């Protein structure tokens, strides 16, 4: 038995490594267990997010967006860039370099904060003991006063299209293509499917996205979702709604996909097929039968509002528990748990967690949609402002999309904040801050925004809630 720790974290993704660092900063003796290995069997920190998720996908999105602009948008702005080409190998090298730098940075942060890093697969036993098994099968058991489970999630595999790692791939495989597919199929028009489809469409793929649901982005405010759909289709993404996949077969180096839509049975051929229908908790071989931790039938660990499990001293955060699978949500929960172990009483405000789709245009939102408020019978006012009327957006050749603010009809408190357009991922933070402090639409309307900026669209949308926008015609209020 090794030395006893105050905290052992299982998993070094955005929930786990943040929890470990915060716990150590609070004076707790902390260790973090991670099984991810590099090709030379060295421990790799950062989890899915840094290694095969958020960071590498955003690197490819940024690079491919620059290529798209240089290929199609520069000439109208007076920039002549002929014969623009993509060096895919160098593009992938750039992506890998960013990942390596960031994951190495976490190792440096562990060292600076006194977090002990343990390499191997962690399994929770009874009484807060953690068994760690290395690559050679050797096991060692550690003991802690508190254990934080932060093992993340993995892509869902569906029976009609099992992964083969070459022709039919998950989101991780889609980040490693060695050439641009001529015809690319994507199963799932969610966040991951749209982002990865956008990357390869910009680089020259003919992309078809098959979505089983009839409503595009059902979790998004539908005014925003419809605006986004029009822009994605204009870019060349063939998005087929109500398409229920029935099978996939690899023949002659092509993936033959069969599906059913409103027109009946359909078939399509692709050079590559990305399956992006969601993710499931990564809880394989994680808990012993006597660990005291309970899971539901889908593998999610039961926790209370403060991420505490039914087992004394055991907590769980991030993708393995209820709520959206978002890296920043996991990090907030990790900090909260570390603080609670140290005796403090913070809470995560789940009503103020932003969501972002990093396409172009970006889609971002926080709070309630109009559809949710209508279903709840709430009275509300809406203010919108298009980027087409924003000088900075026009100057940047990014004048599509809008900002939408929804406020309570009686109190004017902001209930929802929605953006589709340039830098939506940054602009949505203004809505998050406003809602976190209980701001009204009038509070934003009375705030001075710099000119010319994209954020002026927030100001105008807030003004529009009360029918007082300056740079667009206001909707007439019903008497």
**Tens of pLDDT along 48-62?**
999 999 999 999 999
Instruction: Summarize the confidence of residues 228-249 as an average pLDDT.
Output: 97
Nearby residues of 90 by Cβ (< 8 Å), 6 or more positions away:
none
| Whole-angstrom distance, CA of residue 62 vs CA of residue 65 | 5
Nearby residues of 51 by Cβ (< 8 Å), 6 or more positions away:
36, 44, 99, 103
**Active-site amino acid positions:** 451
- Which CATH topology does 168-277 take? FAD/NAD(P)-binding domain (3.50.50)
Same CATH topology for 4-155+280-348 and 354-465: the answer is: no
Calculate the average pLDDT of the chain.
Answer: 96
Q: What is the CATH number of domain 4-155+280-348?
A: 3.50.50.60
Q: Which residues pair with 206 in a beta bridge?
A: 183
Over 50: is that where the pLDDT of 154 sits?
yes
* pTM summary value: 0.96
Q: What is the pLDDT of residues 62-77, one digit of tens each?
A: 999 999 999 999 998 9
Instruction: Tell me the domain boundaries of the chain.
Output: 4-155+280-348, 168-277, 354-465
Instruction: Summarize the confidence of residues 356-381 as an average pLDDT.
Output: 98
- Which CATH topology does 354-465 take? Enolase-like; domain 1 (3.30.390)
Share of the chain above pLDDT 70, in %: 99
The alpha helices in 180-259, defined as continuous H runs, are 191-202, 222-234
pLDDT of residue 476: 66
Q: Which two tokens stand for residue 223?
A: 């005014």
pLDDT of residue 475: 78
User: Torsion over CA of 11, 327, 155 and 135, rounded to 10 degrees?
Assistant: -20
Secondary-structure percent of the chain, ordered helix, strand, coil, rounded to 5: 35, 25, 40
Instruction: Summarize the confidence of residues 212-241 as an average pLDDT.
Output: 97
pLDDT of residue 268: 98
| Whole-angstrom distance, CA of residue 321 vs CA of residue 154 | 13
CA dist list (Å): 116 to 109, 134, 339: 11, 16, 19
pLDDT of residue 264: 96
CB count within 10 Å of CB 7 equals: 27
Question: What length does the chain have?
Answer: 479
Q: What is the pLDDT of residues 183-218, one digit of tens each?
A: 999 999 999 999 999 999 999 999 999 999 999 999
Instruction: Summarize the confidence of residues 415-423 as an average pLDDT.
Output: 98
């Amino acid at each position: 038995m090794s030395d006893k720790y105050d905290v052992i974290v299982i998993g070094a993704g955005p929930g786990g490594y943040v929890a470990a660092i915060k716990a150590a900063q609070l004076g707790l003796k902390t260790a973090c267990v991670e099984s991810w290995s590099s090709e030379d069997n060295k421990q790799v920190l950062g989890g899915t997010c840094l290694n095969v998720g958020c960071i590498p996908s955003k690197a490819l999105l940024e690079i491919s967006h620059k290529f798209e602009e240089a290929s199609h948008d520069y000439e109208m702005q007076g920039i002549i860039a002929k014969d623009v080409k993509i060096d895919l190998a160098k593009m992938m090298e750039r992506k890998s370099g960013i990942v390596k730098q960031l994951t190495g940075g976490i190792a440096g942060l562990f060292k600076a904060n006194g977090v002990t890093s343990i390499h191997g697969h962690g399994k929770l036993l009874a009484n807060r003991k953690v068994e760690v098994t290395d690559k050679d099968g050797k096991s060692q058991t550690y003991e802690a006063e508190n254990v934080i489970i932060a093992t993340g999630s993995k892509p869902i595999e569906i029976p009609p299209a099992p992964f083969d790692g070459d022709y039919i791939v998950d989101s991780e495989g889609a980040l490693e293509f060695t050439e641009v597919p001529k015809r690319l199929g994507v199963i799932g028009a969610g966040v991951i499917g749209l982002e990865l489809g956008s990357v390869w469409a910009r680089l020259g793929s003919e992309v078809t996205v098959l979505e089983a649901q009839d409503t595009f982005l059902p979790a998004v405010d539908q005014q925003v979702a419809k605006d986004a759909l029009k822009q994605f289709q204009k870019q060349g993404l063939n998005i087929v709604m109500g398409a229920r996949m029935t099978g996939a077969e690899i023949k002659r180096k092509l993936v033959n996909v069969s599906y059913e839509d409103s027109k009946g049975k359909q078939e399509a051929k692709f050079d590559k097929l990305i399956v992006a229908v969601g993710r499931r908790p990564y809880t394989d071989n994680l808990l012993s039968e006597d660990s005291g931790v309970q899971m539901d039938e889908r593998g999610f660990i039961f926790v209370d509002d403060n991420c505490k499990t039914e087992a004394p001293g055991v907590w769980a955060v991030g993708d393995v528990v209820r709520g959206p699978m978002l890296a920043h949500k996991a990090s907030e929960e990790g900090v909260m748990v570390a603080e609670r172990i140290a005796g403090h009483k913070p809470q995560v405000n789940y009503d103020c967690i932003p969501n972002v789709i990093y396409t172009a245009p970006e889609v971002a939102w926080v709070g309630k949609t109009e559809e949710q408020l209508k279903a709840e019978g709430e009275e509300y006012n809406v203010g919108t402002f298009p980027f087409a009327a924003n000088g900075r957006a026009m100057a940047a050749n990014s004048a599509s999309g809008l900002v939408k603010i929804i406020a309570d009809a009686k109190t004017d408190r902001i209930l929802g904040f929605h953006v589709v357009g340039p830098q939506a991922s940054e602009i949505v933070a203004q809505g998050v801050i406003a809602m976190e402090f209980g701001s009204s639409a009038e509070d934003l309307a009375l705030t001075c925004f710099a000119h010319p900026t994209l954020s002026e669209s927030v100001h105008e949308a807030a003004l529009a809630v009360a029918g007082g926008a300056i740079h667009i015609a206001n909707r007439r209020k019903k008497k």
